[in-house]
């Protein structure tokens, strides 16, 4: 049983990349508009994040250095600061959206407006960060988030024409009124979300929190190769449900209620209850992941003491950063901005942050001073370079496509 | 700078590295700059600079993927101490061990 719990860091990390509030809606929206025609992007994203999360995990296990240490060491103070600002803003915007997402899940369950829930959600996130042990937090929210597997059950229960879904997945191009521009925009949105930078910040810092050493390389690897593919699977199941229920009748997905509806249709009230708990756990888990990542990045850039492995007073600036971020989240949500829309704008900052995050990881993964015998082999380096190229293309194309397609509309 | 026969590249192996208290493992800051003694032949690194603090080379104990030092008189946690005293310590549970 201990072995099962040992992979929850990977699962919780993957939840932030594949099924956080922005992704829940994007996955369903993509399913409703393109069917399974963008599935290949999810597969591409899973391979990419596995590759780089494994590099960052190995670096932590062998040298004890988390990702943002490496970013500053290899990019220097100035470029490192650009990377810090860009990735911090992506993470903060996502955190704001997640707090809104937790509040929206409560609105769906209670009927009470999400604006009332938002401050409570932020307070709850802070309390968990302040008091709950890292390994407990990762186990509870990692496992609870897995309830989203109910989407896969619902898809099977809906009795779709599997041949049709496979046909869509193997014909990767837009159909109907959709243009190549919107198709490409959503491809980049899905790819960027799968490789969103706070995943490697959280995963590598989590490795330090768990006190990984060389002996934990197997744990590190199973976290990566179980966690992220599971996240990808959930993401495909959500798109599949929307492809079956909404695509044929041409309904657009815009709200969280529409994302969860296919489960209610397939599995009734019990299904709806499970999916709501799953959505709550996934958004709450992603809120923990992003708020901790806000603290990790800033503290690691400046060299401050960080981490939940010490008392809060010993890492006071780290905790202060997270408190300020959560307060900012409440204030932003009170302006009644749509939480789902907030994640769309984070794409702009992700575009800058992506290459600046992954280049230093690839360089250090080849440095025997850090990794000794665990340096990258040729296959990993070739794949790493290909993905760096893809990330660069995605980051250059993201903003123009966002403007041309008016953010996918 | 040579430590136990290892050749180190000051910019690559020192600048922007994490500073760690050798005794407690506490994270103390980053190496923001280095001070060279150009009178010596060959020139040697005489101190590391972090923020406004100067860490004499003698207090540098180990240079690996992080730089371990004996802080001694050098106070590198001023910012952290200020935040601790004025904000974090006022919140209940600030001193609780992480179980």
The total number of residues shown for chain B amounts to: 99
List the one residue out of A315, A265, A334 whose CA is nearest residue A121: A334
Determine the structural domain holding residue A282 and report its residue range: 2-404
Determine, for residues A311 and B89 on separate chains, whether the beta-carbon distance falls below 8 Å.
no
Mean pLDDT of chain A: 94
List the one residue out of A150, A254, A194, A241 whose CA is nearest residue A51: A194
Taking 60 as the threshold, does the pLDDT of residue B4 lie above it?
Answer: no
Taking 80 as the threshold, does the pLDDT of residue B11 lie above it?
Answer: no
Contacts of A117 (CB under 8 A, 6+ apart): A102, A103, A104, A106, A107, A110
Q: In angstroms, rounded to a whole number, what is the distance separating the alpha carbons of residues A369 and A300?
A: 20
Taking 60 as the threshold, does the pLDDT of residue A190 lie above it?
Answer: yes
Name the band, by pLDDT with cuts 50, 70 and 90, for residue B99.
low
Number of helices (H), then strands (E), in chain A: 17, 0
pLDDT on residue A173: 94
The answer to the question of residue A55 being in a domain is yes
How confident is the model over A351-373, as a mean pLDDT?
Answer: 92
CA distance A319 to chain B (A): 8
CA distance A270 to chain B (A): 36
Q: In angstroms, rounded to a whole number, what is the distance separating the alpha carbons of residues A342 and A279?
A: 18
pLDDT on residue B6: 62
CA distance B55 to chain A (A): 15
Strand ordering across the sheet containing B18-21: B27-30, B18-21, B67-69, B60-63
How confident is the model over A327-354, as a mean pLDDT?
Answer: 86
Tell me the HSE value of B1 on the side-chain side, using a 13 A CA sphere: 25
List the single residue in B28, B65, B94 with the smallest CB-CB distance to A312: B94
How confident is the model over A14-35, as a mean pLDDT?
Answer: 94
Q: Which residues of B touch A (CB under 8 A)?
A: 13, 15-19, 26-30, 32, 50, 64-66, 77, 79-81, 83-84, 87-89, 91, 93-99
List the one residue out of A228, A206, A235, A197 whose CA is nearest residue A91: A197
Contact B15, B22 (CB under 8 A): no
Domain ranges for chain B, please list them: 2-90
Taking 80 as the threshold, does the pLDDT of residue A6 lie above it?
Answer: yes
Strand ordering across the sheet containing B44-50: B33-37, B44-50, B53-56
CB under 8 A, 24+ apart: contacts of A163-172: A165/A35, A165/A36, A165/A240, A165/A243, A165/A244, A166/A36, A168/A34, A168/A35, A168/A36, A168/A37, A168/A39, A168/A243, A169/A36, A169/A37, A169/A39, A169/A40, A171/A37, A172/A37, A172/A38, A172/A40
Phi, psi of B53 (to 5 degrees): -95, 150
B87: chain A residues, CB-CB within 8 Å = 316, 320
Q: How many CB atoms lie within 10 A of CB A299?
A: 25
Q: What are the pLDDT digits (tens) for A55-93?
A: 999 999 999 999 999 999 989 999 999 999 999 999 999
Q: Which residues pair with B49 in a beta bridge?
A: B33, B54
pLDDT on residue A344: 73
How confident is the model over B50-58, as a mean pLDDT?
Answer: 94
Taking 80 as the threshold, does the pLDDT of residue B97 lie above it?
Answer: no
Name the band, by pLDDT with cuts 50, 70 and 90, for residue A12.
very high
Q: How many CB atoms lie within 10 A of CB A342?
A: 24
Q: Which residues of A39-63 are buried (b: 16+ CB within 10 A; e: fewer)?
A: bebbebbbbbbbbbbbbbbbbbbbb
Taking 80 as the threshold, does the pLDDT of residue B2 lie above it?
Answer: no
Burial of B25 (0-12, 13-18, 19+ CB in 10 A): exposed
Strands B67-69 and B18-21: parallel
Q: What are the pLDDT digits (tens) for A377-398?
A: 999 999 999 999 999 999 999 9
Q: What is the dihedral of CA A73, A76, A82, A88, to 10 degrees?
A: 20
Tally of structural domains, chain A: 1
Determine, for residues B80 and A316 on separate chains, whether the beta-carbon distance falls below 8 Å.
yes
- Asked whether the whole model's pTM tops 0.80, one would answer yes
Per the CATH hierarchy, to which homologous superfamily does domain B2-90 belong?
Answer: PRC-barrel domain (2.30.30.240)
The answer to the question of residue A409 being in a domain is no
Question: Which of the residue ranges A37-51, A330-344, B72-86 would you say has the lowest mean pLDDT?
Answer: A330-344
Q: In angstroms, rounded to a whole number, what is the distance separating the alpha carbons of residues B8 and A278?
A: 51
Where do the H-state alpha helices sit in A111-210? 114-131, 134-145, 150-157, 162-169, 180-194, 198-209
Domain with A126 in it: what CATH number? 1.20.1740.10
Q: What are the pLDDT digits (tens) for B69-81?
A: 999 999 999 999 9
Place of tokens 């860009």: A86
pLDDT on residue A3: 65
């Amino acid at each position: 049983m201990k072995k099962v719990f040992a992979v929850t860091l990977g699962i919780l990390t993957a939840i932030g990349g594949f099924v956080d509030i922005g992704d829940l809606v994007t996955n369903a929206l993509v399913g409703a508009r393109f069917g399974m025609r963008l599935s290949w992007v999810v597969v591409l994203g899973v391979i990419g994040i596995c590759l780089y999360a494994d590099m960052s995990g190995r670096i932590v296990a062998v040298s004890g250095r988390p990702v943002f240490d490496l970013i500053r060491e290899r990019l220097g103070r100035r470029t490192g600061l650009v990377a810090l600002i860009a990735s911090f803003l992506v993470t903060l915007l996502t955190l704001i959206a997640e707090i809104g997402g937790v509040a929206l899940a409560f609105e769906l369950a209670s009927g009470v407006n999400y604006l009332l829930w938002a401050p409570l959600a932020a307070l709850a996130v802070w309390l968990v960060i302040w008091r709950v042990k890292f390994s407990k937090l990762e186990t509870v929210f990692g496992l609870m988030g897995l309830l989203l597997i109910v989407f896969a059950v619902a898809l099977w229960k809906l009795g779709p024409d599997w041949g049709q879904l496979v046909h869509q997945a193997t014909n990767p191009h837009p159909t109907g009124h959709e243009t190549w521009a919107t198709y490409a925009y959503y491809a980049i949105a899905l790819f960027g979300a799968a490789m969103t930078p706070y995943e490697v910040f959280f995963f590598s810092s989590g490795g330090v929190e768990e006190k990984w050493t060389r002996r934990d390389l197997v744990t590190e690897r199973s976290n990566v190769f179980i966690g992220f593919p599971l996240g990808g699977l959930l993401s495909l199941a959500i798109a599949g449900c929307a492809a079956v229920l909404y695509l044929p009748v041409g309904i657009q997905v815009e709200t969280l209620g529409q994302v969860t509806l296919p489960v209610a249709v397939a599995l009734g009230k019990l299904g709806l209850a499970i999916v709501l708990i799953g959505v709550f756990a996934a958004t709450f888990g992603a809120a923990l992941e992003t708020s901790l990542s806000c603290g990790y990045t800033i503290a690691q850039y400046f060299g401050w003491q960080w981490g939940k492995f010490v008392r809060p007073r010993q890492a006071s600036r780290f905790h202060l950063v997270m408190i300020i971020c959560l307060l900012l989240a409440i204030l932003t949500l009170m302006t009644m901005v749509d939480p789902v829309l907030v994640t769309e704008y984070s794409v702009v900052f992700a575009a800058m942050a992506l290459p600046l995050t992954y280049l230093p990881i690839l360089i250090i993964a080849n440095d025997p001073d850090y990794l000794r015998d665990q340096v990258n082999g040729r296959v990993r380096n070739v794949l790493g370079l290909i993905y760096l190229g893809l990330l660069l293309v995605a980051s250059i194309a993201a903003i123009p496509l966002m403007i041309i397609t008016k953010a996918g509309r | 700078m040579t430590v136990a026969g290892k050749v180190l590249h000051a910019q690559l192996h020192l600048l922007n590295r994490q500073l760690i208290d050798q005794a407690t493992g506490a994270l103390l800051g980053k190496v923001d700059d280095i001070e060279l003694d150009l009178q010596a032949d060959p020139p040697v690194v005489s101190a590391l600079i972090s923020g406004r603090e100067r860490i004499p080379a003698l207090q540098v104990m180990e240079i690996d993927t992080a730089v371990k030092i004996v802080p001694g008189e050098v106070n590198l946690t001023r910012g952290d101490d200020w935040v601790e005293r004025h904000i974090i310590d006022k919140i209940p549970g600030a001193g609780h061990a992480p179980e």
